[in-house]
Amino acid sequence: MRFGLALILLAVLGVVASACSKKAEEIVIETEPVAPVPVVAGPAEYVGTEACASCHEAEHEGWAGSHHDLAMQKATPETVRGDFDDVTVKYYKETTRFVRDGDAFAIEALGADGKRARFPVIYTFGVDPMQQYLVEVEPGRLQSFLFAWDTRPKGEGGQRWFHLQPDEYIEPGDPLHWTGPSYNWNYACADCHSTAVKKNYNRASKRYSTEYFEINVGCEACHGPGSRHVELEETKAKRRPSNTGFDRRLPPPEKRKWSFVEGGNIAVLATSQPSDETSTCAPCHSRRADLGGKGPGYHDRYRLAVTRSTSTGRSCRAGCTRRAWSVATATTGTAGTSERRATRCAPGATKPRPMTSRSIIFTTLAPKAAFAPTATCRSARTW
């Protein structure tokens, strides 16, 4: 197998080398000069979305109000979409109440000790088609609550609270209870919904002092810190080569075409413009365990995971529910049993998604319609 692959590669190299008479040693299919990144002393620092917006009005306009912009927000009457107008909902025998006091929101529910308490809602998480809430269980400790608000219109089945663990009753004290580590903001949510998150876990005190540069997914969450770029743009009048001052290369889609080679069964890049898109998007858009550290490549830092069936051990590929995904993300590598318990597949999980450069990244994410885990992976056994 490996030998066969090596032969194909050699054959490809041969074709390329002969097609490219001038520089045979360079393996390029379509050449476009990639300008060297000018060097400015010192590592780049974050400057903030507002600073970028001052020169890139159009991009800022496109980003403002996007899901990246709204990934995490302070809970205010403008940002909270759920109904907190003294609404009571049931989870098995438990009653949860959503209340509002002026501009402040709170949830009355059973805490980790099984006692009923009123927890202030501090932040919103996500925006559409569902929104979740971060509540403070003790000063500085944020947990994501497990009743989510379905933001779709009523006619589509939305405008209601729904529980993310509908299939079995999770009691206070259980690791999968909403007060447990799997739903702790620092541990399980922070690094994908904000920009430049540092978890800052202290082993001795067993506490996090998590910080982020921006609350949401700002420009530099994708482009990387921009101080060098701004410095270069401010000091030089001339038009600069592409990616001036950034460590990441993100060429536009028309410079990154994928196509099928005759006889091949997987699409390959037909243009050679280097891109860091996968390593930019994948840390947030894949199911993975964070190994820590500051490795430059995705695989240095993360261990990519696939969701596995409870009974068959098969991977779910597409269609795993948000809950399975986020719980499993949080527990990968640490709590095998809760991962197994949490894994469910949605109906239609058997259909692999079409392979485009972006859907490779997105295959591990929940399709928007599939909130309620109505079928387990077992029924998705056909492939």
Residues in touch with ligand HEC (CB under 6 A) = 47, 49, 51-56, 59-60, 63, 66-68, 70-71, 125-127, 130-132, 144, 183, 188-189, 192-193, 217, 219-223, 226, 229-230, 233-234, 239, 242-243, 250, 252-253, 277, 280-281, 284-285, 322, 326, 329, 358, 365-366, 368
Shortest distance, CB of residue 189 to ligand HEC, whole angstroms?
Answer: 3
40, 245 Cβ separation under 8 angstroms: yes
User: Residue 200: how many CA atoms within 13 Å on its side-chain side?
Assistant: 8
Nearer to ligand HEC, 16 or 258 (CB): 258
Nearer to ligand HEC, 221 or 380 (CB): 221
303, 312 Cβ separation under 8 angstroms: no
Nearer to ligand HEC, 14 or 121 (CB): 121
347, 189 Cβ separation under 8 angstroms: no
User: Could you tell me the two tokens for 357?
Assistant: 């450069």
Shortest distance, CB of residue 273 to ligand HEC, whole angstroms?
Answer: 10
Give the span between the Cα atoms of 357 and 258, in whole angstroms: 7
Task: Say whether 310 sits in a helix, a strand or coil.
Answer: coil
Nearer to ligand HEC, 13 or 321 (CB): 321
Shortest distance, CB of residue 292 to ligand HEC, whole angstroms?
Answer: 14
Nearer to ligand HEC, 12 or 357 (CB): 357
Q: What is the DSSP string of 245-285?
A: T-SS----GGGS-EEPPTT-SS-EESS-----HHHHHHHHH
Shortest distance, CB of residue 267 to ligand HEC, whole angstroms?
Answer: 17
Q: Closest Cα partner for 271 from 299, 304, 249? A: 249
Nearer to ligand HEC, 32 or 101 (CB): 32
Nearer to ligand HEC, 14 or 274 (CB): 274
Q: What is the DSSP string of 224-247?
A: ---HHHHHHHHH--SPPPTTTT-S
Nearer to ligand HEC, 40 or 281 (CB): 281
Shortest distance, CB of residue 19 to ligand HEC, whole angstroms?
Answer: 27
Residue appearing with tokens 């299939």: 167
131, 125 Cβ separation under 8 angstroms: yes
Give the span between the Cα atoms of 344 and 204, in whole angstroms: 36
Shortest distance, CB of residue 4 to ligand HEC, whole angstroms?
Answer: 34
Shortest distance, CB of residue 329 to ligand HEC, whole angstroms?
Answer: 5
* Contact partners, residue 81, CB within 8 Å, separation at least 6: 124, 127, 131, 149, 151
Shortest distance, CB of residue 66 to ligand HEC, whole angstroms?
Answer: 6
Phi, psi of 98 (to 5 degrees): -105, 115
